[in-house]
Amino acid sequence: MGFHKVNNDLKRLAFVGTPELSVPFMKSLYSSGYDIEVVVTGEDHRRGRGEEPSPSPVKRAAIEMDLPVIHEIEDIENFEIDLAVVVAYGSFIPIDLLGRVPMINVHFSLLPRWRGPAPIERAILAGDTKSGVCVMEVGEEFDVGGVFTRQEVEISARDTTETLRDRLIEAGCELLVSTLGDGLGEPVPQVGEIVWAEKITPQEREIDWGHDAEKIDRLVRIGGAWTTFRGERFKIWKAEANNQEGQGLPGQLVGDHVTTGKGVLRLIEVQSQNRARQAFDSWKLGARLEENSVFGDG
């Protein structure tokens, strides 16, 4: 694919991305002096019923930066570029195009662990103590290409998807700019156990109160964890695990704690169905709780 020919003299890039997390990478390249000849992003979509189609975050930022935008990635060949930089594009890239246009990708994990669309969430769920960013070649399958550079990022005990993503974006922007500045060289094949990071389903986000408190806390920290209360869906947005022995059955609310299979979970921020998020203490005041109230009642 000619990566060995790319050196620190390259200036003409295409940027390929769609969601909000892609935007800082595009801006970092631009502010570092790279000429972004074209931006490829997803089609405009309706965000809600009855709303007009709206542009992706990358398209919106590109328009503000006065950069040309296209939606068909095959049209990238109509522009004079040295390299395409892909960050969370979200659509299939034709294999034959890879043979004609050199492309690199930024991935939020230490490959080959957590290949796939949800590496941040999966790393937190698994209790990993470190994550990272890889600048890699775009291969014929998802996240299988060789790696040019990587940077480890520690996962703290209280990291959420948002806080870890923010640090990965910061580290990734610096890594991408420095990698291009130094020249890509040859990618190194991935070595180690391959672990796939499948998207998190709504069913996976349902809390099983028979699990231990630390595992449930990790589920809460990826966002959208839910249970049921009085037959309606009830979300827990912020909590804290404690290994102390709980009183009562799994799912039973005792004070501001819920008993789990091992330890207790202190509730901090919650959301009843069709209501706004609120502090647990505020919710509890208006909930008219009965003695021995239980979550997960179906």
- Predicted confidence (pLDDT) per residue in 260-287, tens digit: 999 999 999 999 999 999 999 999 998 8
Evaluate whether 32 touches 8 at the Cβ level (below 8 Å).
Answer: no
**Is there a contact between 104 and 136 (Cβ–Cβ < 8 Å)?**
yes
d(CA 15, CA 29): 9
When the pLDDT of each residue in the chain is averaged and rounded to a whole number, the result is: 93
Q: Decide: 69 and 18 in contact? Cβ < 8 Å.
A: no
Note the pLDDT of residue 191: 96
Domains plus CATH for the chain?
A: 3-196 (3.40.50.170), 213-286 (3.10.25.10)
> Quick one: pLDDT at residue 298?
65
Q: Name 133's bridge partners.
A: 151
This prediction has a pTM of 0.92
Over residues 104-121, the pLDDT tens digits come to 999 999 999 999 999 999
Q: What are phi and psi of 170, to 5 degrees?
A: -60, -50
pLDDT of residue 28 exceeding 70 = yes
Biggest CA–CA distance in the chain, Å, is 71
- 3-class secondary-structure state, position 65: coil
Put residue 66 in one of left, alpha, beta given phi > 0 → left and psi -120 to 50 → alpha: left
Of 256, 264, 260, 257, nearest to 281 by C-alpha is 256
pLDDT level of residue 2 (50, 70, 90 thresholds):
very low
Peptide bond preceding 112 in cis form (omega within 30 of 0):
yes
- Asked whether residue 4 carries a pLDDT value surpassing 60, the answer given is no
